[in-house]
Structures are given as structure tokens and as C-alpha cells.
A and B are shown apart, each in its own frame.
Chain A
Amino acid sequence: MSELRELYQEIIIDHGRHPRNFGFLPEATCHQEGFNPLCGDKIILHLYENKDVVEDLKFEGSGCAISIASASLMTECLKGKSRNEIEEIFNLFHKWVTMNDVPDEFKEKLGKLEVLGGVREFPARVKCATLAWHTLKAALLGQNLKLEVVE
């Protein structure tokens, strides 16, 4: 049961049940929807950007514990970050959840987000962990289009 415990860590179950930054953001400069048509998970991201800094972000949607916790942790962690910082974290995070043998320093840089590394052993769930992140990327690229994530 250890891999499973690794995946469903307490903090994930907590964020999955009680997502932070959940809700609408009236002053948002961008709204982006992300959807996984294979499982129906859906995230709507609202973000308020000011001079390349994401000053606030919130999300709505429905999905499994992993995708909701990932969105919740992401919003917590990226609030107040600049585009450059976000890009770096995005890349770190993506490697962290998809690749084995990532250097230990990643862990430090990722902080709380580190708990999502458990999906590595569950390839079918990686797309849950990354849905919010791909949605964010689409938002920042200003595509503002319907985004489907099917890894």
C-alpha cells in the first residue's frame, strides 16, 4: 500500500476536499478552461496579471482528488510570481511528475508541490496532476482557447 500512500498523501486529500483559492475572480484579466475529455475533469482558471506578475489566481471546476489538489496547491504556490518564475516552476513540476531520477534539488525548489510526485508511479493519473498546469500555460500564452489535455 506504500505507492498508494505516496499518491494519496494527507495534504492531497486535504486539498482535494478543501481546495484553496476556489471560486470566481471578478477582476481577473484572463479566464481559461481546461478539460480532460477522457475522464471529464474540468478546471476553470481565473487569473489577474499585472506587469507580468500573476497577482491573484483562483479556480473552479470538478475532478478527482489529484486534479483538484494540484490546482489548489498550484494557486497557492504561484500567487505573486512573475511569468519567468512561473515558467521555471512549470518546467520543474512537469519533470517532477513525469520523470524518474529527478535530482533532489527539485524537491526543495518545488516546496509543497513536491507531494504530487506520487503520480509518477501512476501514469494514468499524470494528466490529472497536470490539468491545472496546462490550463495555466494556455492562459499565459494568451491562447484563451479550449484546452484539452490528453497526455
Chain B
Amino acid sequence: MTPLLDIRDLSVSFRTRAGLVPTLDKVSLQLGRGEILGLVGESGAGKSLTGLALTGLLPPNAVVTAGSVRFDGQEVLGLSEAALRRIRGRRIGMVFQDPMTALDPLMRIGEQLVETIRHHLRLSRGAALDRAAELLDAVGIPAARQRLRSYPHEFSGGMRQRVVIALALAAEPELIVADEPTTALDVSVQAQVLELLRGLCRDRGTAILLVTHDMGVIAETADRLAVLYAGGVVEAGPVGPVLSEPGHPYARGLMRAIPQVGAARDSLVPIEGAMPRPGQWPGGCRFQPRCPLARAACGEPPPDVPLGSGHVARCQFAGVEEEPRHARA
């Protein structure tokens, strides 16, 4: 079966003053119906860009230099604005990172919902209002009917984030790209939102691309996981194995650096250094300058090493038992 979403070798560059700066490099991801794919990675790794590329909402100075993005068998890259508009919202819903700025401050919540619903589903105003109320209710906003008349600023951050999700759901899209839907939220509200997304997959077969840099969120939500580092996928596979037996040194380092309640005090082992910014990528493996395992061979582009059951890591030492070589505990 062809996946609902099939991204192959997507490369994106930015036109900047220093010329074309490659920022996404050969990103490949697949996502089937009813599946949640977690996309994790440090800030600036290219997570949001990947999400935006799907619907042609890249910033004006971005250029797709290679690759293909197929949605339900149809090539999305290079579609006209009009054709994209038929996909956006209707078939692919987007949840934006920052709920504070994603809503029109001058328009009532209900109006924003009704506008979207009517445009896509061609309902009467009354029916659209009913549906808007249902949606708000579904995302867990109490007294949904009355709240339709509220303005965004009257909602708390968590509620706004849920409105953003409701808007993304308005036309029952087949795919939802959720870009850090919980970063702005408290732990308590965060759980609520993730619950909702999981419910959608379960009940409607919606596919979700869940962008985040929070491993904990992935652990409890995603089916599969892709780890992005400096514009490329360094590891991908089912959530369990990737978290418990990461193959790429970066992923391993990441797991160790997360402080956990109840874990031993001194067990935080940071990855030294910082992720290189686009334009400053080293040749070969881009993790090499920070990698405890780095050798001369890392100067070559690393291979994708399969680790079983669809688990792949882009490191020549993947699967090889790591030597405890890092300098300091």
C-alpha cells in the first residue's frame, strides 16, 4: 500500500546574502493513514520547514532544490497556488507552533471557525455554527456554544492552542501537520491536547505528523519517530526501539541528556558543543564535530544502517556497541 504521505529526498535552500544556503538535505519520510509520525530534533534542525513544505507555505526566500512530496499519490511540489488551496485545510490541516499569534485577534473565534467550515464544506451559516460548536466541544473547551462569541485574547494559551487545533480539524483533513502543538502549554494541558490527537487517529484514521523537540511527548504519542539533525534525518523507526536502543550517537546523547524525575543525580551527560547552523555544516556526517565516536571515516557521507523492523540510523557505527570514550561524566 502506498503511504498517505511520501516525502523523498526533500531538499530546501534559502536564498540569503551568502548565496543559496542548503537547510534541508534529502529528508525522506513516510506516513500512513491512522499513523502518528513523530519528528524530533533540536531547534533549527528543520522540523517546521519540513511541515511547511508539504503545503507550499515555505517562506518566500526558500527554494525546494530537489525531492518529491507525494500526498495520496499526487505530487504536491510545484502545484499552483489554486491547487494547493484545495489541499490546504481540506485535506491537510496545519497546527501552528505559537497559539498566541496564529489567530486573527480582531475576529471572534466562532467567525474564524465558521469561515473555514463554510469555505470547505459549503454549509449554511447555521449548520456551520453548529459544527463549530461541536469542534470546540471536541477539543475540550467547556460551554462551547457561548465561547464561539469570544475573541482570541479572552482565551488562555491552552484554550487558544485547542482552537487552533479545532480550526485544523474543521474540514476533517486526512493529514494533520502539528508543529509543536504543546510547546506553549502546561504539562497538564499538554496531556489533554495529545490525548485529543491520539483520539483522532484512532477514531477517524487521520494521519498526524507530530513535530516537536520534546522526547517525552513523542514517547507517549507517536507510533513511529524520525530524528532530525542539522537538516537531515539521522534516525527513524518505530518509537519503542528508537527510544530504547537508539542507533545514532546523537540520539543516544539526547536520551542521556534528559533529566528524569527519580533518576540518579549525576547521570546528566550533555552533548558538548552546539548544532551547526545551516551554511556551516561540516562535510560528511554533520554530527561528527560533537561525536564521541568520530573517526576519519566520518568525513564521508554516512550510510543508512538498517537496525531491523524499519529502524534505520544514518551512522556507520550504528549497531556497533559504543565505547565509553566521552571525556567526562
Partners in one complex: no
Chain B interfacial positions (CB closer than 8 Å to A): none
